[in-house]
Amino acid sequence: AEVEETLKRIQAHKGVIATMVINAEGIPVRTTLDNSTTVQYAGLLHQLTVKARSTVRDIDPQNDLTFLRIRSKKHEIMIAPDKEYLLIVIQNPCE
């Protein structure tokens, strides 16, 4: 229930297009998009997160990745990684 609430709150933000929760293996657990798009996003972003995390830790093993933001022309993809899960939010910034 709390989980639901948090997700709803995040989704209600201005400009949010989609929200996804991915598990550690890249399999989507919870999503607001259709299946094929979700699967595509999950696969790609999971790999990217793993790569980013390994980059950060290679440079400094004491460090770890906390947040990843990809800004593109059309929208912004925000990824919050954790030990087992990944929260992905796609937002259309202000304009």
Chain residues that interact with another protein, rule: CB under 8 A: 2-3, 6-7, 9-10, 13-16, 21, 23, 25-30, 35, 39, 42-43, 66-67, 69, 71, 76, 78, 80, 82-85, 87, 89, 91, 93-95
Residue 77 identity: I
- Laid out side by side, the sheet with 28-31 consists of 28-31, 16-23, 85-91, 76-81, 68-71
Please, which residue, 45 or 91, has the CB nearer to another protein? Answer: 91
The distance of closest approach from Cβ of residue 2 to another protein in the complex, given in angstroms and rounded to an integer, is 6
In Å, what is the CA distance from 39 to each residue of 1, 10, 58, 86, 94? 25, 21, 28, 13, 27
